[in-house]
Amino acid sequence: MLQLSGYQLEHFELPVVRLSVVRPALCLPFPVPSPMHICLLDIDGTLILTGSAGHAAFAETLAHEFGIAEMNGDVQFAGRSDRAIVMDLFRHHGVEPSVGNWQRFCRSYLGRLRRVLAARKGRVLPGVEQLLSALSTRGDVAIGLLTGNIRDGARHKLTHYGLWHWFSFGGFGDEHTERCDIAAAALAAAKAHLNGNQHLNGSQVNLGEVVVIGDTIHDIRCARSIGARCVAVATGHSSVDDLRVGEPDIAVETLEDIDAVVAMFASRG
Ligand SMILES: [Mg+2]
């Protein structure tokens, strides 16, 4: 029995109130743009083989500009920056590793490279053009370079093999001797490229996966230095087993394994 203001109520029934709960759609203050992925590709041994045109142009340059009859064979080329290679060669052959000598080397090298490229028998590696086309068609992958080549050397090589037009940005071997520094420069260039595009659309970049594709242990190491995933491809001097030592995300015989590479751009779970 309920006592209410001096009255006794034998029966008191609360009215049944049915509330309809309207669940609002998930509303965020701004629409989140789809993630944009970044793919950074090495050149020599990954995109193309040049018949050792770069090596030959190096040797010619050292001979004609610095009087070095025979280039030291112990200096490693694969996976290293042009600047690091040249500085090692300068030191080995007693040439002052100065900025002036580096610039002199680059001028002469670039003048010789195009001629040597035409004289040597090289090729675009299997699956490269199909992969670039597949990534480009997606519309959510920015494709750039991560190479030890100096910028104009990269341009000469890729123009010769009809691939230069695929790339909008990159990190190059003009200034850096450490590949990890080139990787950082390539990632910064990629972000600047994407932000430039997004700025035109009035929205911010939602960054997705960053994937580095290369043919040496050095490519794997520099991918890790920028927090990127890595596809190692055995079309250079290293076998798949050699490359697996560096623990890439995947190692493939050639870039014809397009599905495996494209799958790297799926968001991590
Ligand atoms: Mg390479």
Q: What is the pLDDT of residue 5?
A: 47
| CA of residue 81 to ligand 1 center, whole Å | 10
Listed range (58-62, 158-162, 217-221, 263-267) with the worst mean pLDDT: 263-267
Tokens standing for residue 216: 């040496």
Report whether 217 contacts 246 (CB < 8 A).
yes
| CA of residue 37 to ligand 1 center, whole Å | 22
| CA of residue 42 to ligand 1 center, whole Å | 6
Percent of the chain with pLDDT over 90: 75
* Confidence band, pLDDT 50/70/90 cuts, at residue 6: very low
| Residue labelled with tokens 């610039």 | 103
| CA of residue 6 to ligand 1 center, whole Å | 94
Report whether 35 contacts 206 (CB < 8 A).
yes
| CA of residue 12 to ligand 1 center, whole Å | 86
Question: What confidence tens digit (pLDDT) does each residue in 29-47 have?
Answer: 556 668 899 999 999 999 9
Tokens standing for residue 161: 């093999």
* Confidence band, pLDDT 50/70/90 cuts, at residue 196: confident
CB atoms closer than 10 angstroms to residue 187: 23
Report phi then psi at 180, rounded to 5. Answer: -65, -35
Domain limits, the chain:
36-50+123-265, 53-119
| CA of residue 217 to ligand 1 center, whole Å | 9
Spatial distance between the Cα atoms of 117 and 96, rounded to a whole number of angstroms: 28
| CA of residue 29 to ligand 1 center, whole Å | 45
CATH number of the domain at 53-119, please?
Answer: 1.10.150
| CA of residue 44 to ligand 1 center, whole Å | 4
What's the mean pLDDT in 15-33? 54
What's the mean pLDDT in 200-226? 88
| CA of residue 52 to ligand 1 center, whole Å | 12
Write the DSSP symbol of residue 203.
S
* Confidence band, pLDDT 50/70/90 cuts, at residue 78: confident
Question: What confidence tens digit (pLDDT) does each residue in 151-186 have?
Answer: 999 999 999 999 999 999 999 999 999 999 999 999
| CA of residue 197 to ligand 1 center, whole Å | 29
* Confidence band, pLDDT 50/70/90 cuts, at residue 121: very high
| CA of residue 27 to ligand 1 center, whole Å | 47
For residue 197, give the amino acid letter: N
Report whether 177 contacts 200 (CB < 8 A).
no
| CA of residue 8 to ligand 1 center, whole Å | 94
| CA of residue 215 to ligand 1 center, whole Å | 5
Statement: the pTM of the whole predicted model exceeds 0.75: yes
Query: Residue 42, CB half-sphere, CA atoms under 13 Å: how many?
Result: 32
- Burial of 202-213, coded b for 16+ CB within 10 Å and e otherwise, reads eeebebbbbbbb
Class of domain 36-50+123-265: alpha beta
Q: What is the pLDDT of residue 71?
A: 86
Q: What is the pLDDT of residue 16?
A: 54
Short-list 156, 147, 194, CA closest to 175: 147
